[in-house]
Structure 1
């Protein structure tokens, strides 16, 4: 009997209708659960029929356990009804990746990044949902292949307002939440429906009206009690009754549910040999069509299929063949003798063109280690990896390892390393480490041992830097032992260069920048002895990175050729592309425009490729750029965007960085409690992902929050450990701007000698690297220090110098801080006019930026000035200079060039002049200026 009518499921079908209503407005989920045979598939199919009747597009797949290790079988089923041209609206990199994953690429050597495949699937879902409500339906979702599960999880976690319904069915007792139903957009709209037993009347209707059994109500009542209201059991028991010819059996005569499988097995045994063979083929195949069955069964296929359909075992829907119930597939599989099953697997392997499916069948037919089968599985794993299915690749590679004969240790070691890499790329670093740990302990010295140690260090880098350093140094030790031997065409050099690069990265995270720089130098030296352009580019970028961290500044001669390379070596992680490294370093210098352009391009590329970690890093640095530029609303928007990416991907490090960046903006906006919470959350996440750098970033944020609150002792507690590191090694001022906050707090605490030492070190680095913004901030701190030591004239001169420097920079908040310091210094020196000018300018900047605590601080300082205040329309010195040039006919660009300002600063200053003088145009300004000059004394 084909399950097409949902007898006794009115309540569940009503829930289906409500689900379809929700899906017409936005993301919605429906999870059907119940024990085997309870009718989940029946309701699932009825829901699909109802969705199509409403005009909803439906993408459906029925998963079977035979497919779990194959790449993207579920994706192929789901996309079967999606026209190829639906991908035309995708970015080129996504379209190409999807073609590779679905085996429709014209380039046999093409490879797809797993993230790009997922991003492409998300893009297609969004395009289809924009046309109308879309239902994604998967039956027996637990058995869906790993790669398709990962892809669906990626898609569902990123839904927002799309009209997408997710319909899943699984057996009761499966742990956790199925793929993506816990996503933010689905969690609140997903309904779980537990299917229970049918009542006695429904069982009677099921058996007599829909299964066509001429049974009495008394007999169906017996069947109901024995079956427990399970529809599959009831039908199978009814079939046994009919087959036995007993019209009025007692309950004792009926098979109990535990014996139903045996009853079904006896029914299968009564079929013809051709039908039994056909059922075995359908049970073991992953994607079953009439043609595929015919290729194995032969000319008897048509009659055999007809017999199985008549017996209610199979459905033939066009070209597709399927069991009427999943339990029947299990019964057929369980009933196959071992030798017969192995023989069928060998026949199926010979009949399929798909390398992965052939390898899986060969593995199932193997009776022990087999070099040919292991090689087939190895090749299938590599192909699955190229398709962008690391999950399937890992499963296939694990099978290859298990079937590699013991007398081939090198083959086995190679396959263990490959399996570990597949697990790592499938975001399963724990399993990757488990695969490598015993191998590293057993391998003799040689290239394979060096590579195993290198990968082991790479896998450990984020969890335990000490372990990573041990493994990576071990890799270099093995290479050194093999010096002078045949290194297989440069293999040892490639491994050594990669080990030095990874050591450099780990040492930076551990805070050992000098050692990191030494390893980066050595890695580049080794890479240059070879001809691998990817290794050379990656080594150059690594050296540029460590040089920056160690205080040697930006190295464009290293970055530019590295950024021209779009791909790095197989040892490089995806979260730092060549261009992203350039953007990150630029963001820490004074070239905000170049940093912005580079980071925006890298963010767009990362988004297209589905590289969430790279996207988070790009956004983190973009937020810092826009914060320094005074574009705080934009910075908060970028932070929100980043949090959506990090939350969807579960990236703890990315979320930590974004929290810290957002906290800095919030603190400047006066949202101090929120900023403090961001810092606490960022540090907790940093600790959870073993990132000391993220924790240090959290302390810099708390240092600024406490400075804004005036708690200078707390500032010192947070920043002293960080500052101490700067006194004993190289550093870049762009990475150490917290020093300016620390010096200000130390001066307020009277710790002038400590402030002096720290400021001198910071200033020397800023001068050596020519960092204008760092020098301007350092000059402001020098003014504070001079004032604290009683040198009023020196302090005033330094503050004037700092103001002039900040007027040439596009960092308004730091400019406002410098004006506040200058105003305070002038006030204490009784220079009231200069104090008012500086403090009023500071108030204007802080007000325009929207910084209440710093506005209040400037206003409080302004209120302390005694004597008569000048007219509110009086221009500051800077405003006077801009007004004079504009009144003389200069353009804003010409004024900026003459006064060494940015055009944006000229525009902002001119707006203040207009407001103070009550004019609205350059012409009116010229008239007012002319009158002022005529009234001036001496005219």
Structure 2
């Protein structure tokens, strides 16, 4: 049994009042008595005073004071000694302790030394058979009491040695023969046994002796407030008093410790100090528990340790099985511990203060503690304790080595994360990784851990995924988990570190063919995102993707790469559809399916892309793949933006930001979300918001990725709108350099060439601008997506128009028509017109003019004063740009005698207008606003603006005011 020094917590050392600085909130230091008067102990003091007065008259008495540790037993005994001094009663006091509980007559020796100063403590007699000194000691103290009334005080009598306890019982039977009063204090932490109590059994014919037992109750809220009022110079806040009463549970010793801590830090008892109050109370309770543990036998400490580990799931049966009780049963042990104040009331024993539970386990080594946690956890598992309790036990246990432990930890981790406590889920999953598990399960746990830590520590999330790819396989069953870890790495953007690990996983002999194909697809998807991420000499080498893959994952990546290169739109669509087929959705990585969706978006197959994106989003959210969900929402925003729906694109971006905050993207991917947001804000005309979005992105190693190219394009568009042409041109050209370095030539992704041509200025004879426009037109026509073709040709048309034309927005280098047209489904007539226009060679400014003005002489063009000789000849001969064919003339307005339709409207062919342009122009001439026209025809506002711009140009007019006359109709009066 271990020996521990014992110090009382309910009898602090007396000290003089603190002499702190003026204005200090408290007038005592930690450990001092609040006042010589005890709070809410007035009845006990009054009774003691009366008993002492009767003692002077020859009436003996016996008083026992009981209470939990810290309730003020020792303080009351000290007060009784003070009252005895005032009453002229002689006092002899002793303090029993655990250390001297085996010393014969130890307590009696202390009393004898106090009765006879200078005599010292009497050592135990020598010899094999100790002498019984009970009669001798009784004679000594009774003789002294007859000479002067005597008060004997024994504190913590429960620790008195057996000889002294036997002597006290003998003396109690003889109290009536002399004016003697016996005052003892006993802690409820160790209730006395049947032979421990000091009973009054007077001898025959002896006078009756009064007996009293004081049970010290906890302080009330009023008592707590009184102690606080005595301790502080300023009144305590009522809320602080109520909180203090709850925190200390009415224990005076704990309250004194709290007051001392507040006084030491100069804190007032105010309502804004409740958090410090709770912390100070917990520390004081923990300190009291440690002192209580110091006087408990080892068997009871073992019981407390089992309770500390099991918590509220502890049962008497568990204590019997695990506490290693030798002389006590579980019921008796709990009975002995019931008065300590450490355990809460109820059928199941549990600590009321967590710090007390921690203190109970602090006295044993780490290995022994882990063993105890493991034994308790195994017992709890057999008795069907809920996962929450089992997981708490497993956190402190050694390796269990059973599958149930891992499953419990994973289930509880999922529950804690769903409840909004990810840090607890991380602890549980890391504990699960300590158990011996099969490789597939270990990879899944690492993926779960990566998902949990992603919002707070993205780098740690990537590290766990890389560890998952390095797990040595036992068989081919780990392949799908490797694919999952690889796609999460690629989706977040950590492609540089992912490539060699994906190659290693694919090269392992245990990898199944389907998993190897998926890993190969992810490898090349990462390679195209960050080209040259691995060195040519790195081993193992990954085989190239086939041109016509049969695996759906490889088909998705090949489709995406083909779309970026602008090669064979029909083949790209076929490969993308193969990757998104229903039969492939459950086996193909979501990241490669997103690549196929992006390819369909670039091919203007928005309906198919939308259906596939919805399916990917559902699966990503079900599997808790945040990175994949965020990437899917970015593709969704791209599709909405290409269709001229910036509001829907903004909604998708908001969802992406909620799912994957900006700091959670890898540096290579981080510029993407702010770039898309800036483009959306530019479409809305919010230049200030676009500036803020662009400012969010920082290089930080992102300069080499495709996301950085998007940011350069968005920043160039912003600078162009702000009139900063030089900086905008630099951004567009750098964007093009990054894209061309990866063989990304399709203008459907980013039309940087036409944007750079706009940034060069409105000069129509700028050879570099013409070359950029010609190249974009050629590539757009080679790809064949309607939106890419219309964007390229529309930009050319805006460049050839007169910048001084009325209606141009001030401060903008290009007319409003220079913006890309709304991405609405094109009719077959419109496609044919675009094809005829787009196949015309473009070799110079004269050819641009001839192409756009359909052979109209240069001298008759608005805003023109002259052209080159070749331009004039082209205008006079009416030669177009394609094989010398004459282009149809465009009249400035409908002349008299223009053929009309039976309904009275001009014939569209005679005006040079298409049917759609005529319908829009007719509604505009009738007085309808652009938005009303869009609603009437079920088209976008941008489409209306585009058709009106073309109608103005073909009719040779400058605005809506001349439209009705040009169409040969009278304007309608509007209110």
* TM value normalised by structure 1: 0.49
- Higher Rg: 2
| Greater RCO structure (CA 8 Å; 6+ sep) | 1
Higher helix share: 1
Query: What is the TM-score of this pair, normalised by structure 2?
Result: 0.48
